[in-house]
Structure 1
Amino acid sequence: MQSSVLAFATDLLDEGADAFFGNLTDRAGVGGLTLASVYHEARDVFPHHPTRVVRYLEPGAAYFRPDPARWSGRRLAPPAARAIGERDPFAEAAEQTRRRGLKLHAWTVFCHNDRLGFEHPDCAPANAFGDRLLTELCPANPEVRQYALTLVDELARYGVDAIRAESLHFHGLRHGYHHERYFEELGPFAEALLGICFCPHCTAAAAARGVAAERVRQVVAAELRRRLTEEDAAAEPGKLDRLADGELAVYLDASCATVTSLAAALAERAAGHGMRLSFMDAGGPGTGWLSGIDLPALTKAGVGIETLGYARTAEAVREKVAAFGLHGVRPAELAVILRPMAQDCDGPANLAEKIAVLRGLGVPEVEFYNYGLMRLSSMDRIGAALRGQGVDSS
């Protein structure tokens, strides 16, 4: 079983290679590093940071040095994060992991990008009223797809073993934008409708599948307007597969095809560079239709799946993995992320039991979230759990 810890590039830069990699190998005893390459905006508390506790992460920034020639003439291009200065954390990580015999994975946020969405609104999803959801990029947009492919090419320069693709799909309305406000109760059905993209590229993709896309948009807009206007309507249940005479469901199937084709293209490009690509499915099976996630189609296209195994008990982790089987995803096609922190684990035995469950089911990879956000004692917990299960640094 392969093991890795997810981390931010600033952890490596701020702590220095010896301290950083010493914690990974001597304390956690893992065989790999999953380093954020492009990441979204965040404000985090870092319990063991040597000089600071609170850090802001820059929206939509790259934690490697983009090759200007690859991005020449492109509107969508990742700027190097200001926090890295003149350094290249991925080059440093690549050199250190090779020297220490560790795997290097690139944890890459693709379509959740505040910076590029605000700079290029036409590349963001559009709801039924034409409002752009500027914290995201639309996977159907040709420029976004080329941007994603170029990111894969960039990461290949560093000899990365695998790409962990986060946010390689659509997002709903409520995705945690700071100071996001809803003073009137919208209800889950209206929220779902407000998150569906009707940009020209998505409507064209649906029309190519025989959907009357403009009629679907009009029906969705009318239903939203009714629910936004009438207080009692907000609480009404709704069926997505019945709206617009069932054509909305076919429209959403087209969104799934858009995401699958993009993920397949990236996986093929990654394989051409000798890398693997895993699709991060944070919500778990059965939750992603509105986001364009079709798990069986993704695995059939040769895309691996990574999911969150956040749970208090090993049995709950088992149930999470078993649920994927109901959606055509075998444990051997999964990587699972565990949290060793107190909210999920009460000690090494708890974590070891979860790892044992994953090994017993045939899950080949386990990762731990997140280096900078956990106490050093949580890293010791990883090491004790892995040793207890006989998992070596591989």
Structure 2
Amino acid sequence: MKSSAFVYPWDVNGDPEAAGRIAGLGVQQVTLASAYHSTRALTPRHPRHRIVTASHAAALYPVDERWEGRRLWPYTAGDWAPGDAYGEAADALAGAGLDVHTWVVLAHNSRMGEEFPETSVVNAYGDRYPWAPCIAQPDTRAYLVELAAEAAVRPGADGTELESLGWYGLAHLHAHDKTAGVALGDAGQYLMSLCFCPSCGDGYAQQGLDPQELAVAVRRALEPVWRGEAPAGGWEAVEKLLGGELATATRAWRDSVARSLQTEAVTAVRSAAPEGFRIVLHADPVSYHCGANAGVDPGHILSVADGVVVPCAAGPGLLTPFADRGVEGSVLAANFTVVSGMGGRPAELGADIARAVELGATEVRLYHAGLASDEDLSLVTQTLARLG
């Protein structure tokens, strides 16, 4: 079974042993960030640093002339990834015998939201989420599609993994986050992630809704959540709070926006890529879910892309809806966290992979070769050696 480890350029550049060490894990591929959001990352083995602070979302390579004259364009990285940081790392990893695929983060960009606040998701209370570009806005969609094509198809890359290609909402790993005081549940997360920017207002109107009346209804629906009375369950809980008719109309709008963006972005990458280039999405099989693993319709996305990478940190159950709708030859990659300090279970990786294979997984992703401790990586190496 093919396995791939996630890597940042700063894990490799400046460390002459990094590429060989990653190849020594027993993986055949690396998923290397080419466009990434802001982060603070540990580099436990690097000879020059231990902490890398990427202060804003950026392209980790020199962008080309396609962006000239555009209002929205990819930011240049700072000293955490200077020049063609992606290209330098990709060359080293390929030199160690690894297939290199790009890792492209799309609708997750706090600096864009700060400099162009009108691009952000706006909740029913009027609060903006600067980390979450609204994917219904034409300029934002054009930016995301162009970024997908450019950042995915880098020299020497055999494929790409597109992250955050869909709605981003309330949930976000933000600095000093203080949003967990009330348990929102699936329903509260959905209602707090609904966008009320002008573009979304027009979209709700197309569904026969008055946007202002809908915002009032959403705020009213959230009242029991703030009292600590959020109903359990998934979509049924949303319908219970908001009402079935309103809930269905909002989901119809948001699902159509996400589906069309996903189709458009994959098509743009396909047009820019050489034959045989593989395009997969980080995806959640529940279409109304938001975040890095964008909510998708499994049947639709497997008819458009070459496959999906599915989060399996909490177990491999999310693989099943994709396996049930699978297209022959589709990639169904189970993504396991192997950093024990981030809740990963590297000691259980063998059993987790076996269960994922039973549910239809065709490949494995390991998060994350640069962040994990030596002990975590040793356990990964032993497991992959046993699996052959």
CA distance in 2, matches of 1:182, 1:387: 42
CA distance in 1, matches of 2:181, 2:367: 35
Secondary structure at 2:295 match in 1: coil
Is the contact between residue 213 and residue 251 of structure 1 (CA under 8 Å) also seen in structure 2? Answer: no
CA distance in 2, matches of 1:54, 1:151: 27
Indicate how the Cα distance of structure 1 residues 151 and 202 shifts in structure 2: closer, same or farther if over 3 A, else same: same
- Give CA-to-partner distance per residue, 1:175-196, whole Å, 9 cap, x none: 2322333597475455542221
| Structure 1 residue 371, shift from structure 2 partner | 1.6
Partner of 2:265: 266
Partner of 1:150: 146
Secondary structure at 1:218 match in 2: helix
CA distance in 1, matches of 2:73, 2:119: 12
Partner of 2:353: 355
Is the contact between residue 196 and residue 290 of structure 1 (CA under 8 Å) also seen in structure 2? Answer: no
Is the contact between residue 346 and residue 380 of structure 2 (CA under 8 Å) also seen in structure 1? Answer: no
**Residue 317 of structure 2 corresponds to residue 307 of structure 1:** no
CA distance in 1, matches of 2:165, 2:183: 27
CA distance in 2, matches of 1:42, 1:101: 28
Amino acid paired to 2:155: Y
Indicate how the Cα distance of structure 1 residues 325 and 42 shifts in structure 2: closer, same or farther if over 3 A, else same: same
Secondary structure at 2:310 match in 1: strand
Amino acid paired to 2:304: A
Partner of 2:8: 8
Indicate how the Cα distance of structure 1 residues 372 and 97 shifts in structure 2: closer, same or farther if over 3 A, else same: closer
Is the contact between residue 172 and residue 195 of structure 1 (CA under 8 Å) also seen in structure 2? Answer: yes
CA distance in 2, matches of 1:353, 1:183: 32
**Residue 64 of structure 2 corresponds to residue 61 of structure 1:** no
- % identical equivalent positions: 27
Is the contact between residue 90 and residue 158 of structure 1 (CA under 8 Å) also seen in structure 2? Answer: no
Is the contact between residue 129 and residue 169 of structure 2 (CA under 8 Å) also seen in structure 1? Answer: no
| Structure 1 residue 337, shift from structure 2 partner | 1.6
Secondary structure at 2:75 match in 1: coil
CA distance in 2, matches of 1:92, 1:50: 17
Partner of 1:294: 296
CA distance in 1, matches of 2:92, 2:29: 11
Greater shift after overlay, 355-364 or 379-388? 355-364
Specify which of 232, 235, 241 is matched with residue 229 of structure 2. 235
Specify which of 77, 99, 104 is matched with residue 103 of structure 1. 99
Show the 5 A alignment for 1:112-151. 112-151=108-147
Amino acid paired to 2:259: T
Specify which of 18, 25, 38 is matched with residue 28 of structure 1. 25
Is the contact between residue 5 and residue 368 of structure 1 (CA under 8 Å) also seen in structure 2? Answer: yes
Indicate how the Cα distance of structure 1 residues 271 and 106 shifts in structure 2: closer, same or farther if over 3 A, else same: same
Amino acid paired to 2:78: R
| Structure 1 residue 308, shift from structure 2 partner | 2.0
| Structure 1 residue 94, shift from structure 2 partner | 3.9
Give the unaligned 5+ runs of structure 2.
Answer: none
Partner of 1:279: 281
Is the contact between residue 207 and residue 253 of structure 2 (CA under 8 Å) also seen in structure 1? Answer: yes
Amino acid paired to 1:4: S
CA distance in 2, matches of 1:33, 1:184: 38
Amino acid paired to 2:349: L
| Structure 1 residue 261, shift from structure 2 partner | 1.1
Is the contact between residue 43 and residue 54 of structure 1 (CA under 8 Å) also seen in structure 2? Answer: yes
Is the contact between residue 38 and residue 108 of structure 1 (CA under 8 Å) also seen in structure 2? Answer: yes
Residues paired across the two proteins, number: 371
Structure (1 or 2) with the greater strand fraction? 2
| Structure 1 residue 7, shift from structure 2 partner | 0.8
CA distance in 2, matches of 1:383, 1:280: 24
Secondary structure at 2:121 match in 1: coil
Indicate how the Cα distance of structure 1 residues 30 and 119 shifts in structure 2: closer, same or farther if over 3 A, else same: same
- Give CA-to-partner distance per residue, 1:3-44, whole Å, 9 cap, x none: 21101111122313xx1210122x212211111122222223
CA distance in 1, matches of 2:142, 2:55: 23
| Structure 1 residue 99, shift from structure 2 partner | 4.3
CA distance in 2, matches of 1:354, 1:190: 31
Specify which of 35, 47, 51 is matched with residue 50 of structure 1. 47
**How high is the TM-score relative to the length of structure 1?**
0.83
| Structure 1 residue 97, shift from structure 2 partner | 4.7
CA distance in 1, matches of 2:204, 2:29: 41
